[in-house]
Amino acid sequence: MIEWTTVAARPDPRRLQLDCYPVIDEIAARYGDMDANAHLNNVALDAMHENARATMSRGLRDSGLFDRGLRLVTAQRTTHFLAEAHWPAMIRTGSGAGHVGRTSYVASTGLFRDGICISVCDAVTVLLDDDGPTPIPDDFRAALQTVLLDSPRST
């Protein structure tokens, strides 16, 4: 029998600690982020992960990557929802590069409420030019090395 589905492995326990992420930020949960059970819903948590990825990417823009006609696209995203959170809440976000490959990298993020990890996400981000995936330039690769998980923090 063919197995048609894949299930992502449980996150590494180190990912459940805010101090493993080099880029830290904070975002306020909104009233509209709640579901019918008064929990922050999964769509809202995914939006917070996206915001954390954008915060990390903003710090990498000085590499001039986008001036060269290159663009980044998300090819795959895996989110683990680990604990409930309720509104009102301040959510601390952590982000960093979990892996850097030849044409892509993994943007890894975590969401924390009161020191508890409520969700982690990994987004495979591919660098494209007009012909498709293209190798990551050395200067952008060097910038990604500064935000590898367990690197010194920036905010």
In a domain, 100, yes or no: yes
pTM for this model (two decimals): 0.91
Tell me the percentage of the chain whose pLDDT exceeds 70: 90
Q: Is 69 left (phi over 0), alpha (psi -120 to 50) or beta?
A: left
In a domain, 64, yes or no: yes
**CATH code of 95's domain:** 3.10.129.10
In a domain, 6, yes or no: no
Distance CA 113, CA 94 (A): 12
CA-wise closest residue to 135 among 111, 107, 106, 100: 100
In a domain, 19, yes or no: yes
Please give the average per-residue pLDDT across 108-124, as a whole number: 98
In a domain, 38, yes or no: yes
Structure tokens at 75: 């090819």
In a domain, 3, yes or no: no
Residues 64-97 have pLDDT tens digits of 666 678 889 999 999 999 999 999 999 999 999 9
Domain count, the chain: 1
The residue segments making up the domain with residue 52 are 15-145
